[in-house]
Amino acid sequence: MAAYTVKILDQEEIGHIYQTYMRKDFPSDELKPLSHITRSMDGGYGFSLGIYGGEELVGYAVFILCKETRCALLDYFAILRGKRGGGLGHQAFSLFVSYFAENLPEVDGLYIESERISAAADEKQRLTRERRIAFYLSCGCEMTALRSVLFGVDYSVLYKSVGEREQKASLTALDTLYQKMFKPEHYDRFVSLSVMEES
């Protein structure tokens, strides 16, 4: 099995990845403007990691930090096309968890948004969403009862404990993170967070 490493990306590198890969890897209604990502980096609460096999980029992830509530959000994560299907996604997720443990011990948990299965428009979309959630569950994440609707996209929320304190998912913590992510006028109009009786 190949050895992979992660490294933190600067704005020029994530800009190149955004234009070259992210615009193809994510639906337009899920992809925030590049300026949103760079603004979070300028603000000190966003960062991106590249996954490398030697010198070759094979995947990437974008994170948002909320040190006030000791949590982070996996905002975007993708393995490059042509590199998928060989277990690299699981290796990459494990590397992310290790990165947090070694470099961000103040973070206790990682939130992951994944499009809600029940909101799928058709069978193909439903199967895609089921596979995506199954992937995160197989990485040790747990499904929470939290539901977020961001700019019209309906998400289930998963959670992975990454710290030693075994913190649990919290609506308050995720809400604080969203308030950090979005401008107040956008938060008020386009962000909804709730607890579902059934996730």
Structure confidence at residue 95 (pLDDT): 95
Contact status, residue 58 vs residue 4, Cβ threshold 8 Å: yes
Contact assessment for residue 173 and residue 71, using Cβ atoms and an 8 Å cutoff: yes
Tell me how far apart the alpha carbons of residues 168 and 146 are, in angstroms, rounded to a whole number.
12
Note the pLDDT of residue 198.
55
The answer to whether the Cα torsion of 110, 4, 131, 115 is positive or negative is positive
Tokens read off for 29:
């209604």
For the stretch 54-105, pLDDT in tens is 999 999 999 999 989 999 999 999 999 989 888 899 999 999 999 999 999 9
% of the chain surpassing 90 pLDDT? 80
Q: Dump pLDDT digits (tens) for 137-159.
A: 999 999 999 999 999 889 999 99
User: CA–CA separation, 99 vs 133, rounded Å?
Assistant: 22
pLDDT over 80 (residue 115)? yes
Q: Cβ(118)–Cβ(79) under 8 Å?
A: no
